[in-house]
Amino acid sequence: MTLLYFAWLRTRIGQQSETVTLPDGVTTVGALLEWLKQRGPGYAAALEDLSVVRVAVNQDFAALDHPVADGDEVALFPPVTGG
C-alpha cells in the first residue's frame, strides 16, 4: 500500500509518502489508523485527534469503515483549506 501525507500530517510524521505491507486484520481505514499510531511518536502525535484527520482511498474521501487493501493509495491529511 502507498501512504501519502499532506500539510501538518506530513511534517509531524516526517515524510511525504511510504510504501507499507498491511498486517493481517487491517482491512479498514479505522484499523489502518490504529496500526499507524503504533509505528512511532510522530505517527501518534499526527493521529492523536482523528477529528482533524481526513482520509482518501484511491483519491476519494473515505470513512473509518471503508475497506483498505494492499495496492490501494491511501492519503491522510487535515480538513482542506483551499479556495
What residue ranges bind other proteins (CB under 8 A)? 4, 6-8, 52, 56, 59-61, 75, 77-83
CB of 56 to other proteins, least distance (A): 6
Query: Quick check: 5 and 75 in contact, CB under 8 A?
Result: yes
Pick 22 or 53: Cβ nearer other proteins: 53
CB of 79 to other proteins, least distance (A): 3
> In the numeric block, which cell numbers belong to residue 7?
500539510
User: If DSSP states are collapsed to H, E and C, what string results for 37-50?
Assistant: HCCCHHHHHHCCCH
CB of 6 to other proteins, least distance (A): 6
Query: Quick check: 21 and 70 in contact, CB under 8 A?
Result: yes
